[in-house]
Amino acid sequence: MAQSLCKIYLHVVFHVKNTSPVVKDEHLEQLHNYIGALVNTTGCQVLCVGGIDNHIHALLLFSRTETIAHVVEEMKRNSSRWIKTLSPYYENFAWQGGYGVFSVSQSQVDTVVKYIKNQAKHHKKQNFEEEYLEFLRLYKIDYDERYVFSD
């Protein structure tokens, strides 16, 4: 029997909807852990989840049998449902409709893990919007700035 071999690392980024409450600091670690567990249920393997109050970064080893859209849908849909159970504060919580996914080479995995783990420090120097647009430019992704951060 033929064997399909693949090792694809993906860096997933998505943000809180503009009309949504942001994630409180006291719930960030729980949320990151929950999202990591959701990734693992899809057959992908989470390497790191992080972010700050208004967005998420996740680095994962992608399953050869999954689709990006399904994995991100599972992350966003289920974490949104879960966070609403924590407090009435999150009653209107929602993630943005879109997301960004960027490929990561094996040689950059450790760098991306460090980057994700240091989000709080990183965002003292650069806001999420600047960071995200930088990713889009770096990966040469065509985009219309009017719609990148719209809900």
Domain containing 13 — which CATH number?
A: 3.30.70.1290
Tokens of 73: 């849908």
What pLDDT shows up at residue 133?
92
In a domain, 144, yes or no: yes
Q: Does residue 123 belong to any structural domain of this protein? A: yes
Domain count, the chain: 1
* 60 part of a folded domain: yes
Q: Specify burial of residue 79 (Cβ count, 10 A radius: 0-12, 13-18, 19+).
A: buried
In a domain, 38, yes or no: yes
**The pLDDT of residue 28 is above 90:** yes
Contact 133, 15 (CB under 8 A): no
pLDDT in tens, 86-128: 999 999 999 998 899 999 999 999 999 999 999 989 889 999 9
Query: What distance in Å separates the CA atoms of residue 2 and residue 149, rounded to the nearest whole number?
Result: 44
The values of phi and psi at residue 11, to 5°, are -105, 110
Tell me, yes or no, whether 29 lies in a domain.
yes
Q: Where are the alpha helices (DSSP H) in 2-140?
A: 25-41, 68-83, 109-117, 119-122, 128-138
> 63: Cβ–Cβ under 8 A, 6 or more apart, which residues?
42, 43, 44, 45, 71
Among 85, 81, 35, CA closest to 55: 35
pLDDT of residue 93: 98
Global pTM? 0.92
Q: Is the pLDDT of residue 24 over 80?
A: yes
- Residue 90, domain member (yes or no): yes
Asked if 7 contacts 107 with a C-beta cutoff of 8 angstroms, the reply is no
Instruction: For residue 71, give its domain range.
Output: 8-148
pLDDT digits (tens, 9 = 90+) for 46-71: 999 999 999 999 999 999 999 999 99
Length of the chain: 151
